[in-house]
């Protein structure tokens, strides 16, 4: 289990980014859920459709929220979870008002600025964006994330409309383009009002570290899923 040093200091918060040794959450094996210490808690998942909609979790029923890629809540004892294999998971906590959020920022979610939407949804629940702490979890980083010309052009257009020039996030080596989803999401979070010092990056690449992570790019259909989660403790 990978933990954030910034979030670890909060006793009222339980969070983590799972690794292979914690289990495969593709089908959410009950055993793996129990091994994470979830036995008596409800796990709420986002359906994950690669969009930018956020679900506000207002009840304590264990279920999957349809048509969303992010979840926010202020209810204690509910675990919010996102499954991923290369996509970028972002977990967020506002300690003053005790509001949590989690987002699934794959390349499509990044294009449509899910980072902005998760912050706005937390604020709708009463959070102050100046206090929000965000942690970017393990994902396919710019050492390995090669994109083709078509995807590059798509990013160029969409990021320009957000006032973010692509050149800050793209490197090219041997005629290949490498994109940093982390850098884009960090700038999107800063632009919506998060403090730079409140944004932490777990600098681990899922493609790069087969002993730790599943990777969809590396394993295709064989790939399992990690679970990224957080919960306000009761
Ligand atoms: Zn890598």
At 194-204, the pLDDT tens digits run 999 999 999 99
End-to-end CA distance of the chain: 22
Lowest mean pLDDT among 2-6, 37-41, 166-170, 220-224: 37-41
Average pLDDT, the chain: 94
Distance 165 CA to ligand 1 centre (A): 23
Task: Give the pLDDT confidence score for residue 130 in this predicted structure.
Answer: 98
CA distance 130 to 175: 40
Distance 203 CA to ligand 1 centre (A): 10
Which residues, in sequence order, are CB contacts of 129 under 8 Å at separation 6+? 119, 122, 123, 192, 193, 194
The pTM assigned to this predicted structure is 0.96
Mean pLDDT computed over 81-109: 97
Q: Does residue 61 surpass a pLDDT of 90? A: no
HSE of 171 in the Cβ direction (CA atoms, 13 Å)? 9
Cα–Cα–Cα angle for 215, 107, 123, rounded to 5 degrees: 115
Mean pLDDT computed over 99-121: 97
Distance 46 CA to ligand 1 centre (A): 26
Structural domains in the chain plus CATH codes: 5-141+198-232 (3.60.140.10)
Q: Can you state the angle between helices 181-191 and 114-124, rounded to 10 degrees?
A: 40
Task: Give the pLDDT confidence score for residue 197 in this predicted structure.
Answer: 97
Distance 219 CA to ligand 1 centre (A): 14
Distance 180 CA to ligand 1 centre (A): 11
CA distance 88 to 222: 19
Task: Give the pLDDT confidence score for residue 92 in this predicted structure.
Answer: 98
Distance 4 CA to ligand 1 centre (A): 20
Q: Does residue 38 surpass a pLDDT of 80? A: no
Its sign, for the CA torsion 98, 56, 137, 189, is: negative
Give residues whose Cβ lies within 5 Å of ion ligand 1: 141, 143-144, 205, 207-208
Task: Give the pLDDT confidence score for residue 30 in this predicted structure.
Answer: 65
Q: Does residue 209 surpass a pLDDT of 80? A: yes
């Amino acid at each position: 289990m990978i933990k954030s040093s910034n979030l670890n200091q909060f006793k009222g918060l339980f969070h983590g980014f799972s690794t292979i040794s914690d289990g495969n959450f593709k089908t959410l094996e009950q055993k793996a859920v129990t091994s994470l210490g979830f036995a008596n808690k409800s796990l709420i998942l986002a359906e994950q459709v690669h969009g930018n909609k956020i679900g506000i979790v207002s009840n304590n029923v264990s279920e999957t929220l349809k048509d969303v890629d992010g979840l926010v809540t202020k209810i204690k004892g509910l675990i919010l979870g996102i499954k991923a294999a290369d996509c970028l998971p972002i977990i967020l906590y506002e300690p003053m008002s005790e509001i949590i959020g989690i987002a699934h920022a794959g390349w499509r979610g990044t294009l449509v600025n899910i980072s902005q939407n998760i912050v706005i949804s937390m604020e709708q629940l009463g959070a102050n964006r100046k206090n929000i702490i965000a942690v970017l979890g393990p994902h396919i980083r710019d050492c390995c994330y090669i994109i083709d010309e078509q995807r590059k052009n798509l990013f160029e257009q969409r990021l320009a409309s957000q006032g973010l020039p692509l050149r800050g996030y793209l490197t090219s080596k041997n005629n290949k383009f490498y994109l940093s989803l982390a850098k884009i999401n960090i700038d999107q979070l800063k632009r919506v009002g998060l403090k730079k010092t409140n944004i932490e990056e777990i600098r681990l690449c899922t493609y790069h570290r087969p002993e730790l992570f599943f990777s969809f790019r590396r394993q295709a259909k064989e790939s399992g899923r990690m679970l990224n989660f957080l919960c306000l403790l009761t």
